[in-house]
């Protein structure tokens, strides 16, 4: 039901894109890493209440915040970014908190492993207040290093939440449109538009194949699943090549001459949507300047 409303909103632009939230989510037991999340982000973007904001403005604001978060490299700035972006996405955008958290937690493994590797060092002599003997060498860390770890985590989460503010409120087709306005080469825009549409077509193909293999015990054990995965993947390639030919013929029949043109919603700037973000950016700079 929700999905159909999202579809209705976007049918003018993405007529070929299929029902994306049908991508079944079989493994609920894992926190923070659910598959089909990709189409979920796309779905949230269409359902967001701040989707009506001007997309160029959202992209610029999100990238600017993201850059400030990284350049200023200040834990307080990171915290301010995390809180305000969560406010924009969850309260203004109307995304359920649980959904937001589950999207935020997708990269958690990388963050934990990556920061642990930075925080913990090894050496042949025991250095630092906390060390752990490994026979031939020592693993050690210090308060300063642990602090660096926590600050880095904050920075990464700040940067991620700034990016998610954009991706969870701006459908990819609008982001591509912004890139086109920014004079990214036409060929790349063309490929992006096509790839974006084909992703959902192939996901549909994959789901059908997976279901039919599953109902025939194709995933009953590890060896069978490997064989099934391989045959599904190779069949998917064969089908996608066939579809590629058919789509080109269809496009040519409709007068395709190397550029896809889409009808675009007019989403004008609203002045009060600009005042707050500009104020916010000055606030971040001020915060950084005071706590430098």
Partner 1 sequence: MNTHLNTREKRFIAVVAAIALVFGFTPVASAMHIMEGYLPVGFSIAWGVICIPFLIAGYLSIKKNLKENPKTITLLAMAGAYVFVLSSLKIPSVTGSCSHMTGTGLGAILFGPAPMSILGIIVLLFQSTLLAHGGLTTLGANTFSMAIAGPFAAYGIYKLGLKLKINKRVAVFLAAALGDFFTYLVTSIQLAMAYPSESGGVAASAVKFLAVFAPTQVPLAIIEGILTVVIIIGLETYAQPELSDLGYLTGGVK
Question: Taking CB under 8 A as the criterion, which residues in 169-198 touch partner 1?
Answer: 172, 175, 185, 187-188, 190-192, 194-196, 198
Where in 133-162 is the site for partner 1 (CB under 8 A)?
Answer: 152, 155-160
DSSP summary character for residue 258: S
Residue from the set 50, 163, 281, 287 that interacts with partner 1 by CB under 8 A: 163
Do residues 160 and 104 touch, judged by C-beta distance below 8 A? yes
Count of residues in contact with partner 1, rule CB under 8 A = 89
Angle at 102 between CA 111 and CA 66, to 5 degrees: 55
Shortest spacing between CB 117 and partner 1, in angstroms: 4
Q: Which stretch binds partner 1 (CB under 8 A): 47-55, 83-91, 227-235, 274-282?
A: 227-235
Shortest spacing between CB 269 and partner 1, in angstroms: 23
- How far, in Å, CA of 50 to CA of 174, rounded? 13
Backbone angles phi, psi at 41, to 5 degrees: -60, -40
The answer to whether 274 contacts partner 1 (rule: CB under 8 A) is no
The answer to whether 120 contacts partner 1 (rule: CB under 8 A) is yes
Strands in 121-123's sheet, in edge-to-edge order, are: 121-123, 138-141, 130-133
Do residues 23 and 39 touch, judged by C-beta distance below 8 A? yes
- How far, in Å, CA of 243 to CA of 90, rounded? 39
The answer to whether 254 contacts partner 1 (rule: CB under 8 A) is no
The answer to whether 58 contacts partner 1 (rule: CB under 8 A) is no
Q: Of 265, 273, 192, 292, which Cα lies nearest the Cα of 46?
A: 265
Task: State which residue, 32 or 94, has the beta carbon closest to partner 1.
Answer: 32
Where in 3-22 is the site for partner 1 (CB under 8 A)?
Answer: none
Residue from the set 24, 52, 129, 230 that interacts with partner 1 by CB under 8 A: 230
Question: Which residues does 136 contact at the CB level (< 8 Å), separation at least 6?
Answer: 124
Cα 60 off chain centre by: 16
- How far, in Å, CA of 162 to CA of 168, rounded? 10
Residue from the set 19, 92, 114, 281 that interacts with partner 1 by CB under 8 A: 114
Which residues are bridge partners to 123 per DSSP?
Answer: 138
Residue from the set 83, 91, 97, 127 that interacts with partner 1 by CB under 8 A: 127
Residue from the set 248, 269, 276, 282 that interacts with partner 1 by CB under 8 A: 248
Shortest spacing between CB 222 and partner 1, in angstroms: 5
């Amino acid at each position: 039901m929700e999905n159909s409303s999202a579809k209705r909103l976007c049918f003018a632009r993405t007529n070929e894109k299929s029902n994306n939230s049908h991508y079944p989510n079989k493994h609920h037991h894992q926190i923070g890493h659910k598959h089909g999340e990709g189409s979920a982000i796309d779905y949230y973007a269409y359902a967001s209440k701040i989707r009506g904001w001007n997309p160029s403005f959202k992209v610029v604001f999100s990238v600017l915040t993201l850059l400030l978060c990284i350049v200023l490299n200040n834990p307080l700035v990171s915290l301010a970014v995390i809180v305000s972006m969560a406010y924009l996405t969850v309260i203004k955008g109307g995304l359920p908190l649980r959904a937001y958290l589950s999207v935020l937690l997708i990269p958690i493994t990388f963050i934990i492993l990556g920061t642990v590797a930075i925080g913990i060092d090894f050496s042949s002599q025991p250095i630092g207040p906390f060390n752990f003997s490994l026979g031939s060498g020592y693993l050690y860390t210090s308060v300063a290093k642990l602090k660096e770890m926590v600050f880095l985590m904050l920075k990464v989460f700040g940067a991620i939440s700034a990016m998610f503010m954009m991706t969870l409120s701006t459908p990819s087709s609008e982001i591509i449109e912004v890139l086109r306005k920014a004079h990214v080469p036409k060929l790349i825009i063309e490929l992006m538009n096509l790839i974006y549409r084909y992703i959902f077509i192939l996901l549909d193909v994959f789901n059908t194949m997976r279901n039919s293999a599953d109902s025939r015990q194709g995933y009953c054990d590890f060896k069978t699943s490997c064989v099934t995965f391989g045959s599904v993947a190779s069949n998917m390639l064969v089908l996608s090549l066939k579809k590629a030919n058919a789509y080109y013929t269809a496009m040519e029949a409709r007068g395709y001459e190397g550029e896809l043109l889409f009808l675009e919603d007019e989403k004008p700037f609203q002045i009060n949507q600009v005042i707050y973000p500009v104020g916010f950016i000055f606030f971040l700079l001020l915060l950084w300047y005071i706590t430098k």
